[in-house]
């Protein structure tokens, strides 16, 4: 069993993960469970973050919704699948945020310049406002400069994931 704290009122460090390209293989607009493939070491990394008493959050741009490729329900199904898979390994994600908006969306309701769309920090700021996070010990792991810019704007450290194993990457960066 993991040693996850049951008291969520105590400030704890958080690891914010971008999704596509960090937790799963990024093959373009992933919204079907059959297309999901975990990055090597991702499940182990999340489990170890849980054991180290980090909050674990997902912050992901999902412009495929606004582009009409898939729905918000499809994103929620993938996120539930992730939780189910993680649970089988004694791990979990504490919370998810996603941004369906894009300035060139084909669906009108999603065609806005949104403060949640990275590089804007809105998703991170919303999580920070709703969870007792120790910002000085928190980090965002992303695979694009836009992820790192969102982290900077939110006042946390950003790590650029350019590896093939997330567990080894976080261990080298001294977060595991």
Catalytic residue among 7, 20, 95, 134: 20
Residue 52 token pair: 């180290």
Alpha helices (H) along the chain: 42-51, 63-66, 72-87, 122-130, 145-154, 166-172
Catalytic residue among 18, 74, 94, 147: 18
Could you give the C-alpha distances from 34 to 38, 63, 78, in angstroms and in order? Answer: 12, 20, 10
Q: How far apart are the first and last CA of the chain?
A: 17
Q: Is 26 a catalytic residue?
A: no
CA quadruple 127, 129, 133, 137: dihedral positive or negative? positive
CA–CA distance, 139 with 71 (Å, rounded to integer): 29
CA–CA distance, 31 with 134 (Å, rounded to integer): 32
Active-site annotation, residues: 18, 20
């Amino acid at each position: 069993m993991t040693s996850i704290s049951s008291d969520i009122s105590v400030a704890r460090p958080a690891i914010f993960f971008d999704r596509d390209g960090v937790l799963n293989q990024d093959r373009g607009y992933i919204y079907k469970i059959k297309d999901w493939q975990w990055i090597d070491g991702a499940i182990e990394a999340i489990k170890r973050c849980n054991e180290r008493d980090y909050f674990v959050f997902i912050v992901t741009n999902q412009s495929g919704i606004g582009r009409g490729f898939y729905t918000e329900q499809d994103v929620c199904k993938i996120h539930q699948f992730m939780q189910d898979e993680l649970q089988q390994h004694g791990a979990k994600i504490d919370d998810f945020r996603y941004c369906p908006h894009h300035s060139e969306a084909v669906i009108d309701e999603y065609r806005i310049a949104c403060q949640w769309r990275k590089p804007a920090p809105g998703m991170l700021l919303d999580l920070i406002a709703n969870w007792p996070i120790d910002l000085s010990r928190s980090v965002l792991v992303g695979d694009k400069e836009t992820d790192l810019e969102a982290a900077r704007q939110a006042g946390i450290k950003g790590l650029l994931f350019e590896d093939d194993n997330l567990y080894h990457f976080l261990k080298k960066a001294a977060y595991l």
